[in-house]
Chain A
Amino acid sequence: MEPGLLKSADWPILIDIYFFLGGIAGGAFVVATIAGFLDGQRYRDVVRTGYWVALFAILPCPVLLIIDLGLPSRFLNMLMVSKPSTAIGMSAVTAGPLHLKPYSPMSAGAWGLMVFSACAFVCAAETWLADRKGRASPRVRAIAGVIGAAAGFFLAAYPGVLLGATARPLFINAHWLGALFLAVGAATGSAAIALVLGRLRGSAADMALAPVMRVTSVALVMQIVALALFIVSVRSAGSAGVDAALSQLLTGSQSVPFWLGAVLLGTVLPLLLQFGVIGHRVSQLTALRAALVLAGGFLIKFVLIDAGQATVGGPG
């Protein structure tokens, strides 16, 4: 019998880029909101930078998703159709022409992306108005910040859950992809903020850099833990399809970008740099670390999706 009757969606790199940018946007927004609530004055640069990074990262996302569709003109069907039916899945919710399927991460993700984008716009606009026109609206920003932070975590994590809800052997047996993608989102989001803060001159920006990089380190630790749990949970499933996909990732064609790029350069090295340079003023190294974290975060998502989509092995 020929191996692997399963099929792959064959999502192109557009989707990897979307997952990457969505993670950055969600992570940066969460970091900005937390910093703003803890000390809005002291971390003013983090808040402003975080919200603007979130907005700029999320802007191309709908475009990437829409041009990937077989029929881009029907993109709105993700949210609404003229007559939604109740026979479209478990716990499907319909209201007028709108529908939400909680067990379809793509359906939930489309809504999450919309809610997040709205919050990112409101928060970025609020910081702009406060800075340029002196018209701060703390209550509006607080409400949009809390809703957007929840949506931001969701936006970073849901692609992992989405992959886990496919029949691909590498994904269906993994329960930690959502947690992993969330950690990558937080790491890359905070690294993106650090990268911008490093370019801003001024003592306030310098002062904010250290805690932002500490957030990156927390997220990187979570990233390593989730990655290890992912590999362990998949390996313990032990079917033919799983073994083939996992060996492609760990020892096969994806092993070099995975181990060298994603794990060593993208995760371990930035962590080592963090612990090795405490107390020194090394803004150049900060930029390097942030860039490594961003590249590593993209590589983790890219190699996992690639290994999971490759047509190898039998059913999972």
Chain B
Amino acid sequence: MARQVAMFTDVSLCIGCRACQVACKQWNQLEPEEPEWTGSYQNHAHFTENTYRLVRFIEEPADDKVEMRWHMMSDVCKHCTQAGCLEACPTGAIYRTDYGTVNINQDICNGCRYCISACPFGVVSFNHATGTATKCTFCNDRLHNGLGPACAKACPTQSITFGYRDELEVKAKQRVEELKKAGVSDAQLYGADQGGALGGLNAFFLLLGSPSKYGLPENPRLPQRNVFLDSLYSVGAAVAVGLGAVFAFRSRGEPDKARPTGERA
């Protein structure tokens, strides 16, 4: 396996210019979409089949409680180390590349949409034009030609950076220390730790405040962790119902005129 790559999105540097969103659409030749009014500058409300990078605009009251404070966060597929979409996919269309990213093979996907409901971040979308599931590819074509993703390339403030995962993780930790020294006490990493939730995210974030402020789950879980226990309970229920059925057929609780009681086959 090749050396693992990652994207690091530092929201403290994001100015909400959406160059990443535009670069993503342009490189991946994504169709234009009708704008969607979300009550803010954010467009769209969610990832769509034609929006793989999405700058979220979050407004919160500033410290003086009079002005509003902006939080901009350029959101993207997290390329989870333990990926719900990949585990859910029944066709094997979703696979892990040798760089550690998660991709959907458009030639295999049959549009069952299971991955959409299995993603803890609501990333995967259904493309009605192709009949398949789509999401950020980590610019797989660029990656395999020695280039980083288009969004990271376009970002003018280096809010989005691309690199080898181990190096990027060190840089991210240094950045948190820097910010804390500068008095930004709520700076924290999301998904950088490979021992953390979902085995770490290969697109990880520096957030200012709790993940829930950005709509991210505080403690994302791999849905397939349920499969074993749920199956075990199902087997228990099968045994209970099966035994119940055996007793129901053997029981002579009701009048039985057809054959003498006590007779067994």
Contacts and interface: CB of A to CB of B under 8 A. Distances in A.
B135 to A, nearest CB: 11
A5 B211 CA distance: 12
B116 to A, nearest CB: 5
Contact of B236 (A7, A177, A179): A179
Interface stretch (B23-31, B187-195, B254-262): B254-262
B181 to A, nearest CB: 28
Contacts of B236: 179
A107 B240 CA distance: 26
Given A7-B125, A315-B217, A2 B38 contact: yes
A172 interface: yes
Contacts of B238: 153, 157, 182
A182 B229 contact: no
Nearest to B258: A207
B250 interface: yes
Contacts of A178: 230-231, 233-234, 237
Nearest to B38: A2
B237 A179 contact: yes
A58 interface: no
B242 A34 contact: yes
B64 to A, nearest CB: 21
Size range of the interface on B?
A: 35 or more
B201 to A, nearest CB: 15
A166 B265 contact: no
Interface stretch (A69-77, A134-142, A249-257): A69-77
A114 to B, nearest CB: 13
B131 interface: yes
Taking each of A74, A176, A183, A226, which has the highest tally of chain B beta carbons within 10 Å of its own beta carbon?
A74
Given A5-B215, A31-B245, A106-B112, A167 B118 contact: yes
B216 A315 contact: yes
A6 interface: yes
A95 interface: no
A7 B256 contact: no
B183 to A, nearest CB: 24
B11 interface: no
Given A7-B124, A90-B224, A215-B248, A160 B89 contact: no
B55 interface: no
Interface string B86-116: 1111111111110000000000111111101
Given A5-B216, A87-B95, A106 B90 contact: yes
Nearest to A173: B226
A147 interface: no
A214 B250 CA distance: 11
A199 interface: no
Contacts of B93: 77, 81
Taking each of A42, A168, A221, which has the highest tally of chain B beta carbons within 10 Å of its own beta carbon?
A42
B3 interface: no
A219 interface: yes
A84 B90 CA distance: 11
Interface in A205-228: 207, 210-212, 214-215, 217-219, 221-222, 226
Contacts of B246: 34, 38
Interface in A87-129: 87-90, 92, 99, 101-107, 109-110
Contacts of B132: 70-71
A204 interface: yes
A72 B224 CA distance: 25
B223 A81 contact: no
A1 B92 contact: no
Nearest to B112: A69
B251 interface: yes
A222 B118 contact: no
A166 B234 contact: no
Nearest to B59: A1
Interface of B: 38, 45-47, 58, 84, 86-97, 108-114, 116-128, 130-133, 212-218, 220-221, 223-224, 226-227, 229-231, 233-234, 236-238, 240-242, 244-251, 253-256, 258-259, 264-265
24 contacts: A5-B122, A6-B119, A7-B125, A9-B113, A9-B117, A10-B116, A40-B265, A71-B111, A77-B109, A81-B108, A87-B96, A88-B95, A90-B224, A153-B238, A161-B231, A166-B114, A172-B221, A179-B234, A186-B241, A203-B258, A218-B241, A219-B244, A278-B254, A279-B254
